[in-house]
């Protein structure tokens, strides 16, 4: 399974077709996604907006192979991936997918650098290469002198940037961000958005950005609006 | 390796609960080693003493016949066998042809020493005090080879005993009870009459039962006192390897047609007592390890809950469920190995301390300090028990950690 066949840049897209998902809650089944289709292309930011509870996060986790859809298809690089086994899903999450969440989710026992290099070490990269790459990423994200700080001693904006650095550490093809600015003030929000834009272009990333922030959503290359488990536009 | 590193970081970030867990293992292992060293120390002491005093094998009582009779009965077409064991006439007391047995035994390569002994009872009388005792008539040269008698003499000497046909060696507790010293005279009464003996030495085995009751006489003196001028003796055999005693005893019994009893069989009651003591103290102390296991379980169960978010995030960046449980299993392994290591050191040091503390014991045994036994097995056993409990204590939380569903956890945190 080659999710990284990069010699065909146009096809480095993340596409879902007629995705359905439901949760069983207190005995009754709740349909959260009712047939969602969309495509996110490389070097672009694709935004998904919509009211709380409409199924944005659910969609994002399905696209990122954190969860399995009830029906529908997911394509990475035009390869069907929704039925991959657990080992391949884990490997794909490590190598091809980067996640950024609303809360930064850093491991507080580790320093910024140690957090960032986790996916690299996990994929078997040797330590010095991993450190080099992680420090370069942290520098790019404006955390030049903070790489050896414990994660919990950084500010909210800094922590989110460390989380972004970590999601980018293994040079993924797809970056899935679930309200990454939801917890930041507007100045930091703009900063993070600019960063994503810059990364999408310089790294040929397909960025999927779930956000409440209409201003940021409006600046994306492709825009989707969800309601009640369906894409409106 | 990455999982081990994360395990280490998680541990050192929680010094207090981890140190508590660690100290549980340390104390459990240390106490286990310490108590086993003591109980098995006394056991070894007993075995050593009993071997050095009564030998590895005792040969007595000639068989009169080896088999009972078997009768075949035909009754209404059913065949039955009736066994007649002739129990009351199975043995004749004592060895009949000691010279022959002695020569036969001397040729066994595994036998280190053979001593013929004539046994009987009598009463020692100092004039003011009396004490009934067990008499062992020996040829001292033979007996010295088949026992530790010479080194057990704490006062007087074997030479004094050798020089005087009317000499007696007294157990230390007898000499205390009758207030007898080397050189004193004492009367032995009973049997065929009355002997005037001279105390030529006092021996102490350390086993009270023996030190309270036993005296040694020269073979000839004992025979004439007991009125048994030939035969009726028993043999005490010392082996190069006492552990082989049961097999060799069986072999001797078959060849010599005399009853041969190994020390393991002879002292079974005592050995069972020691075993029970060792097992029960082992079980008691294992409870410390059980409790520390419960403590670790508690710490780890909380840790897994505390770390649920981190687990979800690790899963999202490519850690498998197995990797996640490995992080927790490694933490258990770190605690376990550190605990066993430090606990073994403490146990070792404690064993040493206890062995040098002066402590006068006058009970079943007489010793002047705790008898300890240095045995690697105690450490291995402690490690095994710790491994057992810690494995359980970590395995369950680790399994729970591997079951964390990342999507669910991450969504719930928002
Ligand atoms: N594990 C679950 N069990 C039951 N219902 C769930 C579960 N997870 C999410 N939901 C429901 O699914 C719907 C969509 O949730 P989500 O995708 O998180 O929405 P959004 O991110 O757009 O706010 C919500 O109504 C939520 O209550
Ligand atoms: Mg959401």
pLDDT tens for each residue of B149-198:
999 999 999 999 999 999 999 999 999 999 999 999 999 988 677 889 99
Residue from the list B2, B312, B414 with its beta carbon closest to the beta carbon of A121? B2
Specify the DSSP class assigned to residue A35. E
Nearest to B412 by CA among B320, B308, B321, B303: B308
- Of A227, A229, A233, A210, the C-alpha closest to A20 is A229
Binary contact (B316, A64; C-beta < 8 A): yes
Q: Which pLDDT score is estimated for A4?
A: 47
| Exposed/middle/buried for residue B356 (C-beta within 10 Å: 0-12, 13-18, 19+) | exposed
Strand segments, DSSP code E, in B158-312 are 167-171, 185-190, 193-203, 214-218, 234-239, 258-262
Which residues, other chains included, contact B195 with Cβ-Cβ below 8 Å and sequence gap of 6+? B166, B187, B188, B189, B221, B225
Q: What is residue B42's three-state secondary structure?
A: helix
Could you give the C-alpha distances from A77 to A6, A8, A66, A124, A170, in angstroms and in order?
9, 9, 18, 23, 17
Between residues A113 and B70, the one the model is more confident about: A113
Could you confirm whether domain A41-53+84-223 is CATH 3.30.300.90?
no
Handedness of CA B204, B207, B213, B215 (dihedral sign): negative
Query: What is d(CA B55, CA B115) in angstroms, rounded to the nearest whole number?
Result: 9
Q: Are residues B162 and B208 in the same domain?
A: yes
Q: Is residue B332 domain-shared with residue B246, that is, in the same domain?
A: no
Cβ atoms within 10 A of the Cβ of B317, count? 25
Let me know whether B242 and B330 are in one domain: no
pTM assigned to the model: 0.79
Nearest CB to B318 within list A91, A105, A179: A91
pLDDT in tens, B123-146: 998 888 888 999 999 999 999 988
Q: Number of residue pairs across A and B with CB atoms under 8 Å?
A: 72
State how far residue B13 is from chain A, nearest Cα, in angstroms.
Answer: 6
Strand pairing report for B193-203 and B167-171: parallel
Same domain? B260 vs B341: no
What percent of chain B has pLDDT above 70?
91
Q: Do B414 and A105 touch (CB under 8 A)?
A: no
Tokens 């100290």, residue located: B23
CA angle A68, A73, A79 (to 5 degrees): 105
The answer on B304 and B161 residing in a single domain is no
Instruction: Calculate how close chain A gets to B294, using CA atoms only, in Å.
Output: 25
Return d(Cα B242, Cα B111) in angstroms, integer: 10
Residue B86, CB half-sphere, CA atoms under 13 Å: how many?
A: 12
The answer to whether residues B276 and B254 belong to one domain is no
A99, A109, A123: residue with CB nearest B13: A109
Of the residues B216, B246, B265, the one at which a domain ends: B265
Q: Which ligand is nearest to the CA of B414?
A: 2
Angle of CA points B117, B123, B129, to nearest 5°: 140
Q: Do A61 and B315 touch (CB under 8 A)?
A: no
Kindly provide the ipTM of the predicted complex, given to two decimals.
Answer: 0.90
Instruction: Summarize pLDDT for A51-109 with one digit per residue, the tens.
Output: 888 999 999 999 999 999 999 999 998 899 999 999 999 999 999 999 998 886 899 99
What average pLDDT does the segment B112-126 reach? 90
Per-residue pLDDT tens over the stretch B16-39: 999 999 999 999 999 999 999 988
Tell if the CB–CB gap between A109 and B9 is shorter than 8 Å: yes
Spatial distance between the Cα atoms of B392 and B18, rounded to a whole number of angstroms: 17
Per-residue pLDDT, A8 = 42
B355, B221: one domain: no
Query: Rounded to an integer, what distance in angstroms lies between the CA atom of residue A53 and that of residue A226?
Result: 10
Strands B358-362 and B366-369: antiparallel
Q: Give the residue-averaged pLDDT of B291-315.
A: 92
Average pLDDT (B94-102) is 76
Task: List residues bridging with A97 in a β-sheet.
Answer: A174
Ligand 1, pocket residues at CB < 6 Å: A 23, 25, 30, 32, 52-58; B 408, 411
Query: Hey, are the CB atoms on B414 and A58 less than 8 Å from each other?
Result: no
Domain match, B136 and B174 both: yes
DSSP state of A232: -
Tell me which of B247, B265, B283 is where a domain ends: B265
Closest to A39 in 3D by CA, of A174, A181, A171, A172: A174
What are φ and ψ of residue B46, in 5° steps? -60, -50
Query: Nearest C-alpha of chain B: how many angstroms from A176?
Result: 11
What is the mean pLDDT of the segment spanning B323-345? 95
Report which of B382, B379, B373 is spatially closest to residue B274, judged by C-alpha positions.
Answer: B373
Using CB atoms within 10 A of its CB, is residue B335 exposed (0-12), middle (13-18) or buried (19+)?
Answer: buried
CB B375 within 8 A of CB B37: yes
C-beta atoms of B410 and A86 within 8 A: no
The pLDDT assigned to A5 comes to 44
Tally of domains in chain B:
2
Helices B2-12/B321-356 angle, 10° precision: 60
B277 with B244, same domain? no
Q: What is the pLDDT of residue A7?
A: 44
Over residues B359-388, mean pLDDT: 84
Sheet holding A79-80, edge to edge: A28-40, A14-25, A71-76, A79-80
**Which residues form the domain of B235?**
54-265
Please give the Cα distance from B92 to B121 (Å, whole number).
19
Instruction: Pick the residue whose CA is nearest to atom 6 on ligand 1.
Output: A23
pLDDT band at B349 (very low <50, low <70, confident <90, very high): very high
Q: What's the burial of A28, exposed, middle or buried (CB within 10 Å: 0-12/13-18/19+)?
A: exposed
Find chain B residues with C-beta within 8 A of A123's C-beta: 318
- The residue of chain A with its CA nearest to that of B316 is A93
Of all protein residues, the one whose alpha carbon is nearest to atom 5 of ligand 1 is: A23
Tell me which residues of chain A have a pLDDT lower than 70: 1-11, 104
| Alpha-helix runs per DSSP H in chain A | 56-63, 86-95, 112-122, 127-140, 156-168, 186-203, 214-218
Q: How far is the CA of A47 from the centre of ligand 2 (A)?
A: 13
Per-residue CA distances from B76 to A44, B80, B103 (Å): 103, 10, 54
Q: Give the end-to-end CA distance of chain B in Å, rounded to a whole number.
A: 32
Q: Do the Cβ atoms of A161 and A51 come closer than 8 Å?
A: no
Residues B230-266: tens digit of each pLDDT? 777 889 999 989 998 999 888 888 888 888 899 999 8
pLDDT score for A65: 94
Inform me whether the pLDDT recorded for B68 exceeds 60.
no
Q: Are B159 and B199 within one domain?
A: yes
For the beta carbon of residue B333, count every other beta carbon within 10 angstroms: 17
* Closest Cβ opposite residue B318 in set A61, A67, A94: A94
Q: How far is A210 from chain B (nearest CA, A)?
A: 13
Same-domain pairing of B260 and B369: no
Which chain A residues have any C-beta within 8 angstroms of a chain B C-beta? 57-58, 61, 64, 66-67, 86-87, 90-91, 93-95, 99, 101-103, 105, 107-110, 118-119, 121-123, 166-167, 170, 178-179
- A106's tokens: 């850093």
Under the phi-then-psi rule, with left for phi > 0, alpha for psi from -120 to 50, and beta for the rest, what region is B77? left
Q: Round to whole Å and give the CA distance between B312 and A104.
A: 12
Q: Are residues B203 and B62 in the same domain?
A: yes
pLDDT at A74: 94
Domain spans in chain A, listed from the N-terminal domain onward: 41-53+84-223
Q: How far apart are the C-alpha atoms of B108 and B252, rounded to whole Å?
A: 10
């Amino acid at each position: 399974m080659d999710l990284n066949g990069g010699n065909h840049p146009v096809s480095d897209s993340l596409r879902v077709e007629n995705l359905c998902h439901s949760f069983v809650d207190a005995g009754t089944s709740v349909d959260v996604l009712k047939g969602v289709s969309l495509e996110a292309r490389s070097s672009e930011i694709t935004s998904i907006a919509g009211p709380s509870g409409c199924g944005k996060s659910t969609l994002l986790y399905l696209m990122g192979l954190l969860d399995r859809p009830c029906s529908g298809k997911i394509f990475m690089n035009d390869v069907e991936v929704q039925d991959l086994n657990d080992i391949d899903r884990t490997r794909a999450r490590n190598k091809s997918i980067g996640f950024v969440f609303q809360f930064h989710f850093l491991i507080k026992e580790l320093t910024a650098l140690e957090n960032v290099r986790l996916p690299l070490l996990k994929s078997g990269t040797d330590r010095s290469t991993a450190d080099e790459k992680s420090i370069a990423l942290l520098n790019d994200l404006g955390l030049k002198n903070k790489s050896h700080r414990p994660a919990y001693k950084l500010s909210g904006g800094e922590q989110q940037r460390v989380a972004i650095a970590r999601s980018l550490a293994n040079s993924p093809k797809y970056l899935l961000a679930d309200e990454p600015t939801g917890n930041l003030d507007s100045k930091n929000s703009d900063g993070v958005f600019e960063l994503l834009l810059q990364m999408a272009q310089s790294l040929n990333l397909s960025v999927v950005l779930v956000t409440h922030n209409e201003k940021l959503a409006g600046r994306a290359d492709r825009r989707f609006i969800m309601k009640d488990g369906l894409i409106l536009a | 390796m990455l999982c081990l590193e994360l395990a280490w970081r998680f541990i050192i970030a929680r010094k207090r609960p981890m140190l508590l867990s660690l100290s549980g293992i340390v104390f459990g292992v240390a106490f286990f080693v310490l108590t086993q060293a003591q109980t098995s120390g006394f056991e070894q002491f007993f075995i050593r003493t009993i071997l050095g005093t009564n030998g590895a094998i005792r040969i007595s009582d000639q068989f009169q016949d080896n088999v009972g009779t078997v009768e075949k009965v035909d009754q209404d077409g059913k065949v039955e066998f009736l066994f007649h064991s002739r129990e009351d006439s199975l043995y004749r007391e004592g060895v009949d042809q000691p010279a022959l047995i002695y020569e036969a035994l001397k040729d066994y390569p595994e036998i280190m020493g053979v001593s013929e002994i004539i046994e009987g009872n009598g009463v020692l009388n100092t004039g003011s005090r009396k004490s009934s005792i067990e008499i062992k008539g020996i040829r001292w040269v033979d007996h010295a080879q088949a026992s530790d008698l010479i080194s057990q003499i704490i006062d007087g000497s074997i030479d004094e005993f050798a020089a005087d046909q009317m000499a007696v060696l007294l157990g230390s507790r007898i000499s205390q009870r009758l207030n007898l010293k080397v050189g004193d005279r004492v009367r032995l009464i009973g049997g065929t009459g009355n002997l005037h003996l001279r105390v030529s030495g006092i021996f102490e085995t350390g086993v009270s039962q023996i030190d309270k009751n036993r005296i040694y006489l020269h073979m000839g003196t004992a025979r004439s006192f007991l009125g048994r001028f030939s035969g009726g003796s028993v043999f005490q055999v010392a082996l190069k390897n006492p552990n082989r005693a049961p097999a060799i005893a069986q072999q001797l019994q078959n060849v010599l047609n005399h009853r041969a009893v190994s020390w393991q069989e002879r002292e079974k009651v005592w050995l069972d007592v020691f075993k029970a003591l060792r097992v029960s103290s082992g079980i008691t102390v294992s409870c410390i390890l059980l409790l520390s296991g419960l403590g670790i379980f508690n710490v780890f169960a909380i840790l897994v809950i505390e770390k649920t978010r981190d687990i979800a995030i690790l899963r999202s960046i490519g850690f498998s469920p197995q990797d996640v449980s490995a992080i927790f299993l490694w933490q258990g392994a770190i605690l376990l190995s550190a605990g066993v290591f430090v606990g073994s050191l403490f146990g070792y040091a404690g064993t040493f301390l206890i062995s040098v503390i002066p402590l006068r014991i006058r009970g079943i045994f007489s010793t002047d300090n705790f008898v300890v036994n240095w045995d690697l097995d105690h450490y291995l056993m402690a490690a095994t028990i710790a491994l057992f409990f810690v494995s359980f204590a970590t395995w369950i939380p680790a399994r729970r950690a591997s079951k964390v569903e990342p999507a669910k956890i991450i969504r719930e945190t928002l």
